[in-house]
Amino acid sequence: MTLKTDFREPTAGKPAPFRFAPTFKIDLVFSLAYVFLFIQLWARAEITIVAGVGAGLFGLLLTLCYAGKVYIIASLNEGGGDARTYVISSDLVTTGLYSFSRNPTYLLTLIQCVLWSALLIFLQLFAPFEPFVLAISIVLPAFFFAITERVITREDAALSAAHPEAFAAYSKQVGRWFGRGRA
């Protein structure tokens, strides 16, 4: 799985070739790993009302994370960029969720990983204890964070090259993951 971030300027009249964005690739791999672990654990769990309602609440929160990422991509597209084809917007997108995080999609995916891990740990209360599931529940969010930090560094460099002054000012105001008013 290659995680290239070779963003380009928009080309007039010629659509850019479609490629899966790093966000999508990373999200897909982690989501599939979590779904696989969830299915394995759910099959061995003693399903009670508490387990079902708890899992349902986690499911709702996970769905909100996925929906939030769709919203973020739509916001980026409105700014003229396209994460799917690696086209940088003509203006730096700094509104909406981008006013609180320079990487809101990655932030939501990190939250999603933490929620999946919490769900797996919660289900351990209703299934035979499996140290492997507990270890994976701790390691996967940390692993996601480490991978994403590398991708974000390359994306920040591309945005800085495309919007030098605007990105420098934006970076001082908004944190890489989360936070406003940094100086």
17 occurs within a structural domain: no
15 occurs within a structural domain: no
Q: For residue 12, what are the contacts with CB-CB under 8 A and spacing of at least 6?
A: none
Q: Is the pLDDT of residue 33 over 90?
A: yes
pTM more than 0.75:
yes
How far apart are the C-alpha atoms of 84 and 87, rounded to whole Å? 8
pLDDT tens digits, residue range 39-87? 999 999 999 999 999 999 999 999 999 898 888 877 777 666 655 555 5
Q: SS3 of 126, please? A: helix
- 5 DSSP 8-state letter: -
Provide the domain count of the chain.
1
Pick from 115, 20, 3, 23: nearest CA to 69 = 23
6 occurs within a structural domain: no
12 occurs within a structural domain: no
Confidence of residue 116 (pLDDT cuts 50, 70, 90): very high
How far apart are the C-alpha atoms of 169 and 175, rounded to whole Å? 11
| Segments forming the whole domain that contains residue 81 | 22-173
